[in-house]
Amino acid sequence: NKKLWTSSFVMYTVGLDCVILSAIIFVTQFLNKTQWTYFFEVFGRNPLFIYLLSELAVTLLFVFKADAKTSLFRWIYAHIFSHAGAYTGSLLFAICFMLLCWLVGYFLDKRKIYVRV
């Protein structure tokens, strides 16, 4: 088997992540620019519910069939997102799915409904 993660690649990505994280901390904590963070706050206020929703939704999309052989997941990808190409279509599908999960979290946040354990 080919090694997927080399030590130099790990060091590079960790360093890049640290630079991005420090830039976000600088902008939000020191410059007090937090208007753009609400998008991420929605995920942070109901993380368990949004995670379970996404897992359940994907499972249901694979279980339900659009026709005799095709799952609803594959049908949605083939009829809506595949026209953008394999990689771009897959990215668009993932972004749309994430935005749908965010939308549910947004409505829960607006109604001040928070799922706690």
How is residue 48 written in tokens? 């368990």
Q: Rounded to whole angstroms, how far apart are CA atoms 76 and 61?
A: 9
In the chain, DSSP finds a helix count (H) and a strand count (E) of: 5, 0
| 14 touches 5 (CB < 8 A) | no
pTM, full prediction: 0.80
Give pLDDT tens digits for 90-102. 999 999 999 999 9
Counting residues of the chain whose pLDDT is more than 70, the rounded percentage is 98
CA distance 60 to 100: 15
What was the pLDDT predicted at 68? 86
Domain ranges of the chain: 1-33, 35-117
At residue 67, the pLDDT reads 86
Residue 21: predicted pLDDT: 97
User: Residue 98 and residue 53: Cα distance in Å, rounded?
Assistant: 11
d(CA 94, CA 35): 25
Distance, in Å, from the CA atom of 55 to the CA atom of 49, rounded to the nearest integer, reads: 10
Q: What is d(CA 5, CA 110) in angstroms, rounded to the nearest whole number?
A: 41
Maximum CA extent, the chain: 57
pLDDT digits (tens, 9 = 90+) for 15-62: 999 999 999 999 999 999 999 999 999 999 999 999 999 999 999 999
